[in-house]
Amino acid sequence: MPFTQEQIEEEQTHFANVITTFQQYAPYALNANNKRRKDFHTLPIADRELLTSLGYKDRISAVDHAIFVNAEFLNRVIASPDIFSGGGPDEDEDDPEMKGNDQDDSDDDDPGHESGPAGRGKSHSHSHSHSHGHGAHPHAHGSHDHTHDESPSGGDGSQTQQRKYRPTEHDMDKLRSTLKQLVRDWSMEGKAERDLCYEPIKEALIQHFSDIPQEERRNFRVLVPGAGLGRLAWDVAKLGFACQGNEFSHYMLLASFYMLNRTDAIHKHTIYPYVHSFSNNPNTDALLRPILIPDVLPSSLPEGADFSLVAGDFEEIYGGSDNLDEGDPSVGQWDAVLTCFFIDTAKNIVDYLRVIHRILAPGGVWINLGPLLWHWEGNTTNDPSVELTLDEVKALARKIGFKISNERTIDTTYTNNAQSMLGYVYHAAFWTATKVV
């Protein structure tokens, strides 16, 4: 559906603000670290000498260095062609290994349509000013974050574009979460977390299609809403299925585009995702250890793999009209929907489950893993929020027309610093659900 000029401008402003956040990372993070240096110099000389003998001052300097390295990486990410504006000067449309299918909310669902894995059309780029995409969402912190993005249309936003946007702590938190998300999705360090979350989902998917020969998997279309940095969707494509990820957050989209389309070697990049908090570190290594990404070559999908990422709001892109009849082309076109730490991003979970149900083919499978950290609970932006218990979500799914099986609880972390003295453990709900009505 078309967007209004106002919506398009709001979107552009929001995207520009995210870019500014990337650009401002170094001064922002260095300033926070420099406060430690200033505080140090307010201490009595005896304390300074004691702390210096422990290596405290050297550690502050080492963190400065790590911030510079992070900043270099983040600047490379945003130096990539603008994925939302139809391409930049160094865009490589001919990348032979990254063929994909840009699914969108128009009638254009030609499976042969090729483009980069991240959606480029304007129709893909719209997103609300409330960036609550999975990757940068509160799961990354293990606690609620009630500060949703304010609309950028006033203040530092489109009304005053001449003035440089000043990123907030909330913006920077999302950027720091993006670094941790890279660990989760694209590093060896993240393998333990991926094994806990993605493997059960992939196993259930393979189980559901166990009578399909591997070479025919590409005829089955799998959707991953809340795809984050794309690893689960990529893994599913690697298994041979046609797989599309959908993601809302600009932070995630920028980072996943860079990883998937502009990264040509294993361990190409070094980042320091844990240098931003000095709390709960058992030792210096916990704070300062480098993480190498990626652990696999993103372009190593098999010849002819059908893999794409689509930018935008799940309900807007896949929801279509409420009045669709069963003959509508958007109905029943997916054979599987995989939701991992996603369903609690709903304002109204009824809508999410209805969309998942509607777009699944008869007998299609919905596989879910995640907690219920309702992202819009207590929001201050006057958005509606419906917050069900797990029992209620399952009861709702049954009423909407799913048969739930394979129910269990999987204990898992989420973008956890494995060496921290504080860990967040989600007792995540897992299930396989088939569309029965």
Binding mask 148-187 for a second copy (x = CB under 8 A): ---------------------x------------------
User: CB neighbours (10 Å) of residue 425?
Assistant: 12
For residues 167, 171, 175 and 180, what is the CA-based torsion angle, rounded to 10 degrees?
150
- Contact between 403 and a second copy per CB under 8 A: no
List the end-to-end C-alpha distance of the chain, in Å, as a whole number. 28
Question: Between residues 55 and 88, which has the closer beta carbon with respect to a second copy?
Answer: 55
Q: Is 112 helix (H, G, I), strand (E, B) or coil?
A: coil
Q: List, as one string, the DSSP characters of 171-217.
A: HHHHHHHHHHHHHHHHSSTTHHHHHHHHHHHHHHHHHHTTTS-GGGG
Phi, psi at residue 138, to the nearest 5°? -60, -15
Two tokens at 1? Answer: 């559906």
Contacting a second copy (CB under 8 A), which of 1, 27, 43, 191? 43
Q: How many CB atoms lie within 10 A of CB 49?
A: 11
Q: At 11, is the secondary structure helix, strand, or coil?
A: helix
**Of the two residues 101 and 181, which places its CB atom closer to a second copy in the complex?**
181
Site string for a second copy, 361-380 (x = CB under 8 A): ----------xxxx--xx--
Among 8, 16, 51, 331, binds a second copy (CB under 8 A): 51
Residue 136 is encoded by which pair of tokens? 């940068």
Among 72, 108, 392, 407, binds a second copy (CB under 8 A): 392
Structure token digits, residue 23: 């650009």
Report the run of H or E that residue 59 belongs to, with start and end: helix 56-79
> Which residue in 159, 207, 284, 300 binds a second copy (CB under 8 A)?
284
**Is the distance from CB of 80 to CB of 261 less than 8 angstroms?**
yes
Supply the minimum distance, in Å, between the C-beta of residue 141 and a second copy.
6
Query: Could you say whether residue 385 binds a second copy (CB under 8 A)?
Result: yes
Q: Which of 6, 39, 203, 407 binds a second copy (CB under 8 A)?
A: 39
From the CB of 212, what's the least distance to a second copy, in Å?
A: 33
- Nearest partner of 67 among 18, 38, 19, 34, judged by Cα: 34
Task: Assess 292 for contact with a second copy (CB under 8 A).
Answer: no
Name the residue nearer to a second copy (CB basis): 92 or 407. 407
CA quadruple 175, 180, 183, 184: dihedral positive or negative?
negative
Q: Is 420 in the site for a second copy (CB under 8 A)?
A: yes
The yes or no reply on residue 290 touching a second copy (CB under 8 A) is no
What does the binding site for a second copy look like in residue numbers (CB under 8 A)?
Answer: 32, 35-36, 39-40, 42-43, 47, 50-51, 53-56, 59, 141-144, 146, 169, 277-284, 286-287, 344, 348, 350-351, 371-374, 377-378, 384-392, 395-396, 399, 420-429
